[in-house]
């Protein structure tokens, strides 16, 4: 009776296969750079929140004839200096919160959950600016975390900027390392 021959992998073969799979896993992880992907997704969320805030401000202005950081149509303090967007942001009268105006009954431009999210201490805060001149844009800016958003912001600052563009977002462009803000629109 002939001896049975078992076909199986040896321990060395298994170790080699596991090592090759480990090397491939490290190569794939370094290629996709998960930290950069997480930062890019956060920056995309910040951009979306900035767009939503600008849209709410524009709708408020269209419906009321004045900006939410002013007290009314007769208020001439239309300039919005570089201002942190949070629940402490008050109108020019200092009594009413701007985010509250955008979410109050009657305007309801923003949901309370949106305001809670962008005002949380763990959020990458938004900043707003408007020169107050006729036809000027409202800019909402954030400090990008991902390399791609930082590059885009740096390229924008290196180019020709609109005349109503706030100075703060590009002020740190020549610092080492450069600090530039992503601003919308």
CB within 8 Å of 90: residues ≥ 6 apart? 96, 97, 98
Please give the mean pLDDT across all residues of the chain.
90
Strands (E) in the chain, as ranges, are 80-84, 127-130, 138-142, 182-184
- pLDDT at position 49, please? 97
More reliable by pLDDT, 20 or 107: 20
For residues 10 and 154, what is the distance between their CA atoms, to the nearest angstrom? 56
pTM of the model: 0.82
Mean of the pLDDT values across residues 39-57? 96
Q: What is the pLDDT of residues 65-104, one digit of tens each?
A: 999 999 988 988 889 999 999 999 999 989 889 999 999 8
Q: Is the pLDDT of residue 1 over 70?
A: no
For residues 3 and 73, what is the distance between their CA atoms, to the nearest angstrom? 99
């Amino acid at each position: 009776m002939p001896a049975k021959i078992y076909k199986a992998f040896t321990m060395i073969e298994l170790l080699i296969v596991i090592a090759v799979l480990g090397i491939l896993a490290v190569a794939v992880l370094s290629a996709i750079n998960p930290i950069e992907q997480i930062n890019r997704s956060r920056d995309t969320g910040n951009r979306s929140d900035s767009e939503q805030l600008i849209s709410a401000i524009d709708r408020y202005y269209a419906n009321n004839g004045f900006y939410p950081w002013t007290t009314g149509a007769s208020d001439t303090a239309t300039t919005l200096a570089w201002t942190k967007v949070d629940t402490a942001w008050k109108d020019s009268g200092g009594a009413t919160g701007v985010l509250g105006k955008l979410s109050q009954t009657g305007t309801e431009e923003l949901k309370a959950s949106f305001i809670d999210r962008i005002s949380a201490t763990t959020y990458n805060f938004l900043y707003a600016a408007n020169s107050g001149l006729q036809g000027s844009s409202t800019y909402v800016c954030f400090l990008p975390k991902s390399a791609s958003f930082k590059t885009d912001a740096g390229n924008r600052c290196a180019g020709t900027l609109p005349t109503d563009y706030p100075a703060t977002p590009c002020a740190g462009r020549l610092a080492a390392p450069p600090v530039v803000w992503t601003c919308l629109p």
